């Protein structure tokens, strides 16, 4: 299995909703990442988990809450989002926390906040 699987592929949520994005990989990778990508813009790093510990939190608002239950799974919990949070949310993994190995990306979750 050489894939990163993200679910759901599409999500529409209201500003008072609570939802979660899920990311899963079975490549034995020990680092996992959340990126946010607005239309026609590059991906921007949100969180980095290395060996199941949060190592980077790029000043992301608290309405985004990451969770790494085990080395194969990464969640992003969403609560009280704003319309400007609408974006493509990408999960990635790498063999180790060193980018030497490059990243494997999932196809993303297209999030729309209404």
Partner 1 sequence: AQSVAQPEDQVNVAEGNPLTVKCTYSVSGNPYLFWYVQYPNRGLQFLLKYITGDNLVKGSYGFEAEFNKSQTSFHLKKPSALVSDSALYFCAVRDMGAGANNLFFGTGTRLTVIP
Contacts with partner 1 by CB under 8 A lie at 4, 6, 33, 40-45, 48, 50, 55-56, 58, 88, 90, 92, 97-100, 102-108, 110
Q: How far is the CB of 69 from partner 1 (least distance, A)?
A: 20
CB of 16 to partner 1, least distance (A): 27
The residue (of 7 and 55) whose beta carbon lies closer to partner 1 is: 55
Specify whether the CB–CB gap between 35 and 90 falls below 8 A: yes
Token pair 């990163």 in the structure block, residue: 4
Between 16 and 62, name the residue whose CB sits nearer to partner 1.
Answer: 62
Nearest to 89 by CA among 49, 26, 43, 51: 43
């Amino acid at each position: 299995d050489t894939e990163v699987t993200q679910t759901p592929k599409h999500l529409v949520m209201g500003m008072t909703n609570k939802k979660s994005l899920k990311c899963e990989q079975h490549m034995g990778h020990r680092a996992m990442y959340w990126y946010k990508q607005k239309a026609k813009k590059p991906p921007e790093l949100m969180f980095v988990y290395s060996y199941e510990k949060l190592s980077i939190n790029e000043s992301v608002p608290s309405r985004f809450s990451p969770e790494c239950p085990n080395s194969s799974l990464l969640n992003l919990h969403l609560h009280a989002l704003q319309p400007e949070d609408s974006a493509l949310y990408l999960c990635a993994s790498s063999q180790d926390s060193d980018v030497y190995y490059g990243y494997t990306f999932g196809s993303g979750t297209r999030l729309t906040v209404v």
